[in-house]
């Protein structure tokens, strides 16, 4: 038993485990922020009265929800950066980091959009009609009346999307973000193959510690924020 | 003997003088609508279909300033659709609807502006569920009219006072009874200073004991000269406050008359049949 603990000690001494998790947390944070913005815009497009906008929103969701994240990630680096020469930073590492954030965001935006739309479905039609009846046009009605209620009804599915995003942030390895957890695990196994159980548990427990509070928080929040009708 | 239930306002409204034996339906509204002036709402040759269903058939209707119009008719006759068409919550296929002389704009800002001048009260109240009672009433004046928050609050408190729910101003809608919610909804519509108020069965979702508190507010509004279009089966309200009753069936206006005339002496068979049904059960 003591031996097993010393294995963890070896790993934490020789590798920057917390630093690697910190990279994934940062990837998640920025991607979540961007995905929330894109997803909200998409949801607005999908519920808008303008058919062409709604169509674009639907097309986006259909494409990005059904494309594997790894494909998007690899395309971001080899296609968007490698071929199209599209750069997000002069610095090599932060360029890859930002490309990975964009890939994570455009992918998860599709799920955010659907989460918000499920929230919109919890808002009775009469709310929108009352908003229009006092003279609010589409965008103000959405901003002041529909979305605030929709977000409160979408806390649980948004939480699920965030949990998926935390775990999917490891796919950034495919975009050359070399400092994140899955790449670190690869290195550990390569150089300390005798410690594979401790290595696996390090990362498994690390993600459990990251993910569980998010689940607990969103469950509590969705109950507290629920709109009483 | 008439069923007392058909006149729920008679007993409860304190503003009504004691009703003598010969006058079971004392009128509470005595002003005449200004029929010489430009109508506040005018529908001309309005047609509306839902798929194959012809819901509004060639509707011509003009509502004068200060007029209280009650729309009555069997379920599915198109009363709600008529109401909703007037502030364009439903589009129409043919014909023209004007509010204050202006044709309804198709969309955008112009339509929003026009809607802000038409007050609407729904059967299901539709108060903004995430906003306090007070915020429900100030939202339109602040966000649509650009009035200052302080000014809007002051006026909103006055309106809530007027409909008798000022002491509930800080509560959320779900904490209020149906009758209270509907009175807040009326205050919310009034806060926009509308040129006309539309009521689509404002009391039919309410428990019987709450109907009067809402009707009283409406009678008071009528007495003050508000132009009103009211879809309702509350005949007490119609006799007390309406200048004209419009009877609709199958998407058409079948007949229209003063309430007294319509309820005591309906001309069409459809109206006779309808009245016999709502009077006897
Ligand atoms: N959005 C819609 N799509 C299709 N049909 C509709 C729609 N709204 C209403 N209808 C139909 O149009 C007809 C008229 O409806 P409307 O709601 O105007 O009647 P109403 O006179 O208000 O009836 P009620 O007394 O039941 O409220 C009904 O047959 C109804 O089923
Ligand atoms: Mg109706």
ipTM: 0.87
| Closest residue of chain B to A143, computed from CA coordinates | B143
- Lowest average pLDDT, out of A179-188, B17-26, B183-192, goes to B17-26
Q: Are A207 and A167 in contact (CB under 8 A)?
A: yes
Instruction: Tally DSSP H helices, then E strands, for chain A.
Output: 11, 0
Cβ-Cβ contacts under 8 Å between A and B: the total is 72
What pLDDT digit, counting tens, does each position of B89-132 carry? 999 999 999 999 999 888 778 899 899 999 999 999 999 999 99
Report whether pLDDT(B18) > 70.
no
- Alpha carbons A103 and A76: distance in angstroms, whole number: 7
A162-217 pLDDT, tens per residue? Answer: 999 999 999 999 898 988 999 999 999 999 999 999 999 999 999 999 999 999 99
Residue A16 near residue A24, CB atoms below 8 Å: no
Express each pLDDT in B203-227 by its tens digit.
999 999 999 999 999 999 999 999 9
Are the Cβ atoms of B112 and A136 closer than 8 angstroms? yes
Ligand 1 centroid to residue B269 C-alpha, Å: 22
Which string of DSSP letters, residue by residue, matches B174-186? Answer: GGS-HHHHHHHHH
Residue bearing the CA closest to ligand 1, atom 3 = B50
Q: Measured in angstroms, how far is the CA atom of residue A108 from the centroid of ligand 1?
A: 40
pLDDT at A55: 98
Give CA–CA dist A219/B175, Å, rounded.
24
Q: Which of B77, B123, B201, B203 to mutate to test the pocket of ligand 1 (most atoms within 8 A of CB)?
A: B77
Judged against a pLDDT cut of 50, whether residue A226 lies above it is answered with yes
Distance CA B275, CA B265 (A): 10
| Whether pLDDT at A5 is above 50 | yes
pLDDT number for residue B36 = 85
Binding pocket residue ranges, ligand 1, CB within 6 Å = B 50, 53, 55, 73, 75-81
Query: B174 to chain A: nearest residue by CA?
Result: A229
Q: Do B122 and A129 touch (CB under 8 A)?
A: yes
pTM beyond 0.90: no
Looking from the CA of residue B51, the nearest atom of ligand 1 is: 4
Domains recognised in chain A with CATH numbers? 2-225 (1.10.3720.10)
CA of B78 to the centre of ligand 1 (A): 6
How confident is the model over A129-166, as pLDDT tens digits?
999 999 999 999 999 999 999 999 999 999 999 999 99
Cβ contacts of B124 on chain A, cutoff 8 Å: 124, 126
- For range A99-114, the mean pLDDT: 97
> Is the distance from CB of A149 to CB of B126 less than 8 angstroms?
no
The minimal CB distance from A137 to the residues B108, B174, B185 is found for: B108
**Ligand lying closest to the C-alpha of residue B55:** 1
Chain centroid to CA A175: 16
Residue B24 pLDDT: 54
Per-residue pLDDT band for A2 (boundaries 50, 70, 90) equals low
**Residue ranges of domains in chain B:** 41-279
Superfamily of domain B41-279: P-loop containing nucleotide triphosphate hydrolases (3.40.50.300)
Q: What does DSSP say about strands B244-249 and B68-72: parallel, antiparallel, or unpaired?
A: parallel
> Over chain A, what is the mean pLDDT?
94
Confidence of residue B30 (pLDDT cuts 50, 70, 90): confident
| Closest chain A CA to residue B192 | A134
Nearest ligand to the C-alpha atom of residue B73: 1
Q: How many residues does chain A have?
A: 229
Mutate to test the interface with A, among B89, B90, B125, B128 (most CBs of A within 10 A): B128
Q: Model confidence over A40-81: pLDDT tens digits?
A: 999 999 999 999 999 999 999 999 999 999 999 999 999 888
B84 CA to middle of ligand 2, Å?
10
Q: What is the mean pLDDT of residues A7-22?
A: 94
| pLDDT band of B9, cuts 50, 70, 90 | very low
């Amino acid at each position: 038993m003591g031996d097993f603990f010393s294995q963890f000690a070896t790993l934490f001494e020789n590798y920057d485990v917390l630093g690697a998790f910190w990279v994934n947390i940062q990837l998640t944070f920025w991607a979540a922020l961007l995905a929330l913005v894109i997803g909200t815009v998409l949801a607005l497009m999908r519920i808008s009265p303008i058919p062409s906008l709604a169509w674009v929103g639907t097309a986006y969701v259909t494409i990005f929800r059904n494309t594997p994240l790894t494909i998007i990630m690899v395309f971001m680096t080899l296609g968007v950066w490698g071929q199209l020469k599209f750069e997000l930073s002069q610095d090599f590492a932060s360029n890859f980091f930002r490309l990975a954030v964009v890939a994570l965001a455009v992918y998860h935006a599709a799920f955010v959009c659907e989460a918000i739309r499920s929230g919109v479905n919890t808002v009775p039609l009469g709310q929108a009609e009352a908003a229009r009846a006092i003279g609010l046009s589409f965008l103000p009605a959405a901003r002041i009346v529909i979305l605030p209620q929709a977000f409160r009804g979408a806390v649980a599915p948004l939480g699920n999307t965030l949990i998926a995003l935390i775990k999917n942030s490891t796919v950034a390895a495919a975009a050359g973000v070399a400092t994140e957890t899955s790449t670190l695990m690869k290195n550990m196994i390569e150089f300390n193959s005798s410690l594979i159980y401790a290595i696996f548990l390090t990362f498994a427990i690390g993600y459990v510690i990251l993910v569980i509070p998010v689940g607990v928080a969103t469950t509590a929040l969705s109950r507290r924020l629920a709109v009483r009708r | 003997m008439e069923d007392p239930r058909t006149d729920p306002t008679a007993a409860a409204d304190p503003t009504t003088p004691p009703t003598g034996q010969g006058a079971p339906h004392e009128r509470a509204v005595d002003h005449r609508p200004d029929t010489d002036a430009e109508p506040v709402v005018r529908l001309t040759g309005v047609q509306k279909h839902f798929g194959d269903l012809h819901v509004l058939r060639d509707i011509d209707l003009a509502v004068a300033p200060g007029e209280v119009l009650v729309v009555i008719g069997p379920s599915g006759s198109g009363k709600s659709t008529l109401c909703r068409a007037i502030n364009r919550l439903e589009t129409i296929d043919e014909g023209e609807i004007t509010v204050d002389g202006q044709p309804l704009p198709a969309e955008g800002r112009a339509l929003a502006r026009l809607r802000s001048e038409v007050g609407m009260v729904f059967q299901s109240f539709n108060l903004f569920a995430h906003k306090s009672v007070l915020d429900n009433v100030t939202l339109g004046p602040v966000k649509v009219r650009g009035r200052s928050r302080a000014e809007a609050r002051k006026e909103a408190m006055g309106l809530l006072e007027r409909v008798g729910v000022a002491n509930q101003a800080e509560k959320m809608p779900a904490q209020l009874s149906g009758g209270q919610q509907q009175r807040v909804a009326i205050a919310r519509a009034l806060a926009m200073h509308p040129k006309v108020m539309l009521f689509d069965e404002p009391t039919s979702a309410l428990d019987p004991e709450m109907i009067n508190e809402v009707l009283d507010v409406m009678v008071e509004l009528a007495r003050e000269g508000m132009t009103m279009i009211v879809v309702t089966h509350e005949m007490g309200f119609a006799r007390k406050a309406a200048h004209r009753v419009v009877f609709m069936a199958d998407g058409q206006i079948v007949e229209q008359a003063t309430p007294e005339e319509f309820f005591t002496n309906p001309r069409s068979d459809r109206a006779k049949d309808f009245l016999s049904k709502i009077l006897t059960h």
